């Protein structure tokens, strides 16, 4: 399961071993029935692609929760 919430469209991503901050969503691809999500890290410009089922996205700020 993936939980997506964002402030100003910047995400924090937790995978199995590392946390990535200030990530901007770029694209979502389906390859052989597997979903991949690509982000660009705002601070470094580096691009990262994650298997959707292996990541958890966090909000930067609680007050942006929508009920």
pTM for this entry: 0.70
Instruction: Sort residue 63 into left (φ over 0), alpha (ψ -120 to 50) or beta.
Output: alpha
Contacts of 37 (CB under 8 A, 6+ apart): 25, 27, 28, 29, 49, 50, 52, 55
φ and ψ at 55, to 5 degrees?
A: -125, 160
Q: What is the pLDDT of residues 3-62, one digit of tens each?
A: 454 455 788 888 778 888 888 888 889 999 999 989 999 999 999 999 988 887 665 533
């Amino acid at each position: 399961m993936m939980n997506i919430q964002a402030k100003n469209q910047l995400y924090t991503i937790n995978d199995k071993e590392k946390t990535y901050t200030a990530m901007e969503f770029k694209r979502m691809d389906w390859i052989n029935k597997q979903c991949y999500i690509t982000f660009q890290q705002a601070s470094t410009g580096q691009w990262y692609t994650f298997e959707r089922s292996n990541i958890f996205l966090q909000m930067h700020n609680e007050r942006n929760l929508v009920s």
